[in-house]
């Protein structure tokens, strides 16, 4: 089971029906993804609820004044059957600079912009626009 895809699809589906928040199972990887989404202002906030083994992440989704979600598209790029790695020099702007890649590097998860600044490459986890 691909837990990263489940995490992204839960967010995508909740945005489609305009839910105020989504509850997903906790993992360190999901926690880091949520932290990056918060830093990039794609979500309102997130909380860790409960104790192991029943920890969950509650993610508050963000919408503009007209009720349009800030995340227009969230897509898994590197999948268990096909991993996609890029070097630093291969990192290009996403959607003319309006979108972001989330990359798993040797220094942890980060956006393509931060990876480019640190001169790092890695596995492309997902694309957000």
pLDDT digits (tens, 9 = 90+) for 21-53: 999 999 999 999 999 999 999 999 999 999 888
- What is the length of the chain? 129
Predicted confidence at residue 87, as pLDDT, reads: 94
Predicted confidence at residue 19, as pLDDT, reads: 96
Strand (E) positions, 29-107? 43-49, 56-61, 74-76, 85-86, 100-105
Q: In terms of domains, do 78 and 123 share one?
A: yes
- Total domain count for the chain? 2
58-79, pLDDT tens digit by residue?
999 999 999 999 999 999 999 9
83-128, pLDDT tens digit by residue?
999 999 998 888 888 999 999 999 999 999 999 999 999 999 999 9
CATH number at residue 16: 3.30.1370.30
Give dist(CA 127, CA 23) in Å, integer: 21
CB atoms within 10 A of CB 73: 12
Predicted confidence at residue 52, as pLDDT, reads: 80
Q: In terms of domains, do 57 and 84 share one?
A: no
Residue 66 forms part of a structural domain? no
**Is the model's pLDDT at 1 over the cut of 90?**
no
Give dist(CA 43, CA 34) in Å, integer: 8
Q: In terms of domains, do 29 and 79 share one?
A: no
Residue 48 forms part of a structural domain? yes
Residue 41 forms part of a structural domain? yes
CATH number at residue 118: 3.30.1490.10
């Amino acid at each position: 089971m691909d837990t990263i895809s489940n995490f992204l699809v839960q967010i995508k589906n909740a945005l489609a029906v305009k839910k105020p928040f989504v509850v997903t199972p906790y993992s360190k990887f999901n926690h880091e993804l949520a932290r990056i989404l918060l830093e990039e202002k794609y979500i309102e906030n997130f909380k860790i609820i409960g104790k192991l083994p029943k920890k969950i992440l509650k993610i508050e989704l963000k919408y503009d004044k007209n009720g349009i979600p800030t995340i227009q598209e969230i897509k898994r790029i590197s999948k268990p059957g096909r991993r996609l790695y890029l070097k630093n020099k291969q990192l290009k702007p996403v959607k003319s600079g309006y979108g972001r890649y989330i990359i798993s590097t040797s220094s942890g998860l980060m956006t393509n912009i931060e990876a480019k600044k640190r001169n790092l490459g890695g596995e492309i986890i997902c694309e957000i626009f």
